Structure formats: C-alpha cells, structure tokens
Amino acid sequence: MAGGRFAGQIRNRDVVVVDNNGHIIYIPPRTLEVERLVAQFINELNTALAAVAAREEEATTVAAWAHYRLVALHPFHDGNGRASRLLMNLVLTRAGLAPLILPSGSRARYNELLRASNHGRLGGICVVHHVPTPVHG
C-alpha cells in the first residue's frame, strides 16, 4: 500500500499492473493522459448515472462499466481496485440493489474477467456483478 501521502491524488508517474509472479498483466494509460481521461470518465459517469432507472439491468450494467473504467484508468498510486469496487457498489445501492461483496477466493476469476473486459468483453463483469436482491430500507 502506498500509504496516506498519496491518498486522493492522481498518480504522477507511469505504472504497470503485475501478477503475483511479477509478470506485467496490464499497462494503464500514461500519466500525461490520466487527468484528461479521468475528467472524461466523470462526464460519462454522470451521464450514465442520470440514465439509470429503477431497472436492475441498467444499474448493474452501469455499475460494471464504471468499475471496469476506473480500474482500467488506474489513476491512483494505490487502491484503484478498492476505489472501483466502492464506486460499483455506490451505483448499485443508489439503485436500490444490494452491494456486491467479492469473496476472497474469487480473485483469480475476477482478474480473468477484468482481462476479458480489456478486449471489449464486459459481459462477464456484468454477470459477476448481477445482484438480484433489492435492498429494502
């Protein structure tokens, strides 16, 4: 963990994402592009959130998309996955759906679906994020 000194700050250097063996599995956008891409993402997210109705399919699709886009941008030094899962659950709970808790044993499948999403196959993430139980408050 990068610690508190970078909390909430856009990263200021190029990074790569590695697996447990140190192999590069993803190269996020270059640092010089991150601020512009984050601003673009925020605009797209606001548009998508405005379009979310009470229907589960729309909320789960937007939640999965927002999760993937934020983790793919990888704008922070640390905590990108946690921030993207938090954003996903914010979208779900605002739509009256239960938050998604990923069991620790599902990490490999989760990473596999993220890699598939890099190739335009977001459907797997939508299935993983399907939460049929509405929240009753």
72 is in an annotated binding site: no
Token pair 């509405």 is found at: 134
Binding residue per annotation — 84? Answer: yes
Annotated active-site residue in 74, 77, 119, 130:
74
Question: What is d(CA 135, CA 81) in angstroms, rounded to the nearest whole number?
Answer: 24
Q: Which of 6, 1, 135, 128 is nearest to 67 (CA)?
A: 128
Residue 106 annotated as binding site: no
4 annotated among ligand-binding-site residues: no
Verify whether residue 74 is a known catalytic residue: yes
Q: Is 107 annotated as a binding residue?
A: no
CB 22 within 8 A of CB 81: no
Which parts are annotated binding residues for ATP?
Answer: 78-85, 118
Q: What residues are annotated to the active site?
A: 74
